[in-house]
């Protein structure tokens, strides 16, 4: 996988700090899982956290050291990525992309909401060839990771593993520019406001 669109530096830093809103952190984790470059950056950035933690003025503990459990301390095996689904998503999805119960949201466009504990909204979006997602302006940040296929927006072309970030200052309109379906993981800080009239009707009817 050749990844050309990475996480923004400020996003990576916030992610390693544990300060990214949950929906964005989910997308960041899925990207980092498939991106060697961003995995390396995460390792370097955690040293920033380590240095800041080490530099904090200690607050004395009220109680002493807990009794130490003995017994086997087995290394945990890392799950092997068995499909095109990034590991952090596998648990949420409970299967591969073929088994997703898609919901039709417009001609050639489907979505599927993923359960998320915490702020924001996380979902999969599927667009048929030549289809675009409804135009929307964002309230807060949004991150889109390509899981299958590719899309193009104002900033360029995004292939599998690439991630696009947008905020209120940069509305974007991704269009599937390939022959097959394009499936993306989309995390939004807050539910987006669709600006098209039709989309607005849908939003009302389907309570986005």
Nearest approach, Cβ of residue 28 and another protein (Å): 7
Nearest CA-CA partner of 110 in 121, 120, 96, 124: 124
What is the Cα–Cα distance from 189 to 22, expressed in whole angstroms?
8
Please state, in angstroms and as integers, the Cα–Cα distance from residue 136 to each residue in 99, 167, 199, following that order.
Answer: 28, 11, 9
What is the Cα–Cα distance from 183 to 78, expressed in whole angstroms?
26
Nearer to another protein, 59 or 205 (CB): 59
What is the Cα–Cα distance from 128 to 34, expressed in whole angstroms?
24
Nearest approach, Cβ of residue 167 and another protein (Å): 7
Contact footprint for another protein (CB under 8 A): 8-10, 12-22, 25-26, 28-29, 32-33, 39-40, 42-63, 65-66, 68-70, 73-76, 78, 88, 117-118, 140-141, 167, 169, 189
Nearer to another protein, 55 or 107 (CB): 55
- CA-atom Rg of the chain in angstroms: 20
Nearer to another protein, 39 or 103 (CB): 39
Nearest approach, Cβ of residue 202 and another protein (Å): 27
Nearest approach, Cβ of residue 18 and another protein (Å): 4
Nearer to another protein, 17 or 198 (CB): 17
Nearest approach, Cβ of residue 2 and another protein (Å): 17
User: Which 8-state DSSP code applies to residue 106?
Assistant: E
- Contact (CB, 8 A) for 118 and 23: yes
């Amino acid at each position: 996988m050749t990844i050309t669109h990475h996480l923004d530096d400020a996003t990576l830093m916030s992610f390693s700090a544990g300060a990214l809103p949950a929906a964005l952190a989910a997308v960041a984790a899925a990207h980092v899982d498939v991106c060697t470059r961003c995995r390396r950056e995460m390792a370097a950035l955690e040293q920033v956290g380590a240095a800041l933690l080490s530099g904090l003025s200690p607050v004395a503990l009220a109680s002493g050291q807990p009794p130490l459990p003995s017994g086997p301390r087995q290394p945990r095996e890392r799950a092997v990525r068995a499909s095109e689904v990034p590991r952090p998503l596998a648990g949420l999805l409970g299967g591969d992309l073929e088994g997703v119960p898609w919901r039709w949201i417009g001609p050639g466009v489907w979505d599927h909401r993923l359960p998320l504990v915490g702020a924001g909204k996380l979902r999969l979006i599927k667009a048929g060839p030549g289809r675009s997602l409804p135009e929307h302006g964002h309230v807060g940040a949004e991150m889109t990771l390509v899981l299958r296929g590719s899309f193009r927006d104002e900033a360029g072309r995004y292939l599998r593993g690439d991630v696009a970030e947008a905020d209120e200052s940069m509305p974007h309109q991704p269009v599937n520019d390939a022959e097959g379906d394009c499936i993306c993981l989309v995390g939004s800080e807050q539910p987006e406001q669709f600006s098209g009239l039709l989309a607005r009707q849908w939003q009302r009817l389907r309570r986005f």
